[in-house]
Each structure stands twice: as C-alpha cells, then as structure tokens.
Structure 1
C-alpha cells in the first residue's frame, strides 16, 4: 500500500471540487464514507451540529436524496439546471496522521452558483476530514464555514 502524501491530499480536494463543477454527483458521493456528514454551520465557530441549528447537516442518505432531486425530471426548480464554479485557494494540511490514516485539509474558497439570470457568490472555508479506506482517501466529514453564515439565504441548490 502506498503512503498518502501531502500532494495526494491537495489533489483530492481539487478533484472533488472539479466533480461538483462538472455535476458528477454520483462520482462525488462515492468519495464519502458510509458514516460521513456534510455540514454547513449557521454560526461562526459552531462546535456542535446536533445541539445547534445548521444551514445543512446531511448524512450520506440525505446527500443521495439531494442528488436524486437534482437529477429528477420533475424537479422544476432545476429546469434549467443550476451550475457552479469553485475557485480554491491552495489547500493547507491542518493535520495528518499516517498511523491512523486520518487527515484534515482546510481550503479557502469563492463559490459561484448560477441559474438563468441569477448568480450568487459565497466565500468561506471548507474543512475536509479525510480517512484512508482500502488505500484510498474518503471524506468522513466535509464542513463548510461561510464568511456570512448568519445571513439570510435563499435556496442553496448545489454542493460547495
């Protein structure tokens, strides 16, 4: 088995963003472990997704439901489909433990979501809690901290 390098961790984050930009949602979902969560806190420095309201706190089942909704023929809010673009700062390795196969990578981003003549831009940081599963990196937790997390938002259709 090959050791995971810093370059592997960085490349993983870039590849994941590209999957989302290309709407390869099924491929993207396979990056998550079965016990994974996608979390977008509602407050700065929020520490608990269960005792406090979040913008999103979805397990793998809910992610799958959202993907099925996005690809559904009767999802009129997605006709035409929303599109997105991630502009990422170079990811930084916050921690890496080869012995346990656990890694944390933080990335600042600007994210643009567009549909028809409406365009929305978000800025923030993503924190990937990655684990090694059978020699491959997988996401156990993806946390999205928006700069303006406490603002009033419309529907966020896609994944940041």
Structure 2
C-alpha cells in the first residue's frame, strides 16, 4: 500500500540539485497512504513507517506579541520516540484506552507538500499542512485541528521511513477534550 521510492532514483540525483518530480510525487503518495492508515486505525502498520531513532514532537504554541517566537520547544503536547509510540499503539488495542473508547472517527487532509533534500544523503526534508477532522460518539460534535508538519524522511534499505516529525499546531489552546490521536 505505501508508496515506495526507488533507491536508484534517489541515488541518481545529487542532493544539491532539484528534487525530481517522481520523488515529490512518491512523497505525496507516502503521506496520503500514511493518513489512510491512521484514519482506518491500522496503527501497527503506521508505526512500521518510522525509523528506530524517530523523534515525534508536537510543541506547545503560545500567543505572544509580534516579533517573539510563538512555539515553545521545551514544552510539548507530545515528545515521543519509537518505544513510546509503540506503547501508545499497543494501548489503543486494549480495553483501557478510555480516551479512545468509543474510537474517534478521523479524516486527515494532507496538503501543500513541499519536498527538499535533507542535510544528509538519503534524506528528504518535507513540509506539509494537515487538517484533521475528528468526531466521537453520537453527540454530533467534532474537532478541527490544523497545523504544519515538518518531517524528515530517510531512505532505509528498500523503504522510506519517517525519522523525525515536528507538528506545529495552529492553535495555542486546543478545544478537544483529549489528545489521544496521532498527527
């Protein structure tokens, strides 16, 4: 299901040159496939998309005056690694994941994908926008959460994997009652 970028295609281009169209298209397909895995609650398959040394962070945003940084990089909604992501995924498969019982219905829209070469060979720096629709239960209420994702994709053997994800949410105060979902 997940888009595969031919390692020969990446090797054929120098990181200083433009990213080829085929690579950009494969990255977009990869991100769309990832969103589908999450929306269909296929969390084990989603977890397999990450490197062993992944950093998955969602820093807190603060409302400040113009000219001051509005993202705090030492306070996080999520500050995860492969082990903690694995624990969260396993917990979702149990009957004690109360924040997701009943499960959320989600729909992720990934847009404005920008692809650049990473700092090291075999890496791609990705920026994309995410709009996440989430509803729970039968009350007719929903959450809309938007933000910008900064991903580092790494070529590992015969696959592309997410080595780093930083999500900058567009809200400083989240209106959702819990935050047990993935971005």
State the TM-score, normalized to the length of structure 2: 0.77
| Counterpart Cα distance in 2 of 1:97 and 1:77 | 36
Distance between the aligned counterparts of 1:17 and 1:98, measured in 2? 26
Distance (whole Å) between structure 2 residues aligned to residue 6 and residue 98 of structure 1 = 17
Say what the alpha-carbon RMSD is for the aligned residues. Answer: 2.0
Cα distance change on mapping 1:83 and 1:33 into 2, 3 Å: same
1:41 aligns with 2:59: yes
Q: State the structure with more CA Rg.
A: 2
SS of the aligned residue for 1:100 comes to coil
Partner of 1:23: 41
Query: Counterpart in 2 of 1:106?
Result: 127
Q: Map Cα deviations across residues 20-49 of structure 1 (whole Å, 9 max, x no partner).
A: 11111000000000000211011366474x
Can you list the C-alpha shifts for 1:54-84, whole angstroms capped at 9, x where unaligned?
1111101111111112111233333321121
For structure 2, list consecutive stretches of 5 or more residues without a partner in the other structure.
1-6, 11-22, 62-68
Tell me, in whole angstroms, the C-alpha distance in 2 between the residues paired with 1:99 and 1:72.
Answer: 39
2:169 corresponds to 1:137: no
Is residue 2:88 matched to residue 1:88? no
Change in Cα spacing, 1:98 to 1:147, as seen in structure 2 (3 Å) is closer
Query: Structure 1: 5+ residue runs without aligned partners?
Result: none
